[in-house]
Amino acid sequence: MAIENEHVMADVIEVNEFPNLAQRYVIRGVPKTVINDTVEFIGNVPESQFMEHIQRASSPSETSS
Amino acid sequence: MGFLSADNQAEVKRLFEGLTGDVHLIYFTQRESPLFIPGHECETCKDTRTLLEEVAALSDKIKLEVHDFVAESQLAQEYAIDRIPALVITADSVKGRIRYFGLPSGYEFSVLLGSLLDASQGKSELSDASVETLGSVEKNLHIQVFVTPT
């Protein structure tokens, strides 16, 4: 997604190495995806579902923290 | 000590035959000091650098730059790097930003290789519909995927 759109910053984070982030984002299962600190989900979801989350996070009503 | 066996190296080299454009790996680490300062150690920084050096040695299209997170804090800020080990994957055709925090081991290593190939070829593995949807996104999206080594 970061290849296709200049507005996307995509991070992969090895959570064991950053316990403060594990705590902050309450990581109880992996892979856990957090978009703009407003939308989050656990697991390998199908691409169409991932895109629904992207659309939700990019809608004007969602404000990032 | 090396991470990649001769077999691994041969396999990665074969995969890298698919590289088309140059890919830059911008790696942020810290000075490797024998001094242990509690709270300031980076346990996987050295291993990550070794692994990246081994990967970069397998193709002249993979360009590795190693930077000091503290001494080059301005550069780190440009890439919004606030923790290490941190890797930024860039290529001419990458419009957004791809970053990797931590040592990419196990399954994550193959994810990293996949990202290098995609970045080099300038194309994602997304469907046309997803690419179209993404094209209409004008808001900054920060996608963080938390993983564990497997």
The dihedral over CA atoms of B63, B67, B69, B73, expressed in degrees to the nearest 10, equals -100
Q: Which of the residues in chain A have pLDDT under 70? A: 62-65
Which pLDDT does position A61 carry in this prediction?
74
ipTM of the complex: 0.94
Secondary structure, 3-state, chain A: CCCCCCCEEEEEEEHHHCHHHHHHCCCCCCCEEEECCCEEEECCCCHHHHHHHHHHHHCCCCCCC
Contacts of B142 in chain A (CB under 8 A): 9, 11, 35-37, 64
Contacts of A13 in chain B (CB under 8 A): 101-102, 144-147
Nearest to A57 by CA among A37, A31, A43, A42: A37
- Residue A12: which of B93, B108, B124 has the nearest Cβ? B108
What domains can you pick out in chain B, each with its CATH number?
A: 6-135 (3.40.30.10)
pTM over 0.90? The answer is: yes
- Residue B146: which of A4, A7, A25 has the nearest Cβ? A25
Q: What percentage of chain B exceeds 70 in pLDDT?
A: 93
Q: Does B39 touch chain A (CB under 8 A)?
A: no
Whose structure tokens read 């650098």?
B49
Give pLDDT tens digits for B57-83: 999 999 999 999 999 999 999 999 999
**Are the CB atoms for B93 and B122 separated by under 8 Å?**
yes
The answer to whether residue B117 scores a pLDDT higher than 60 is: yes
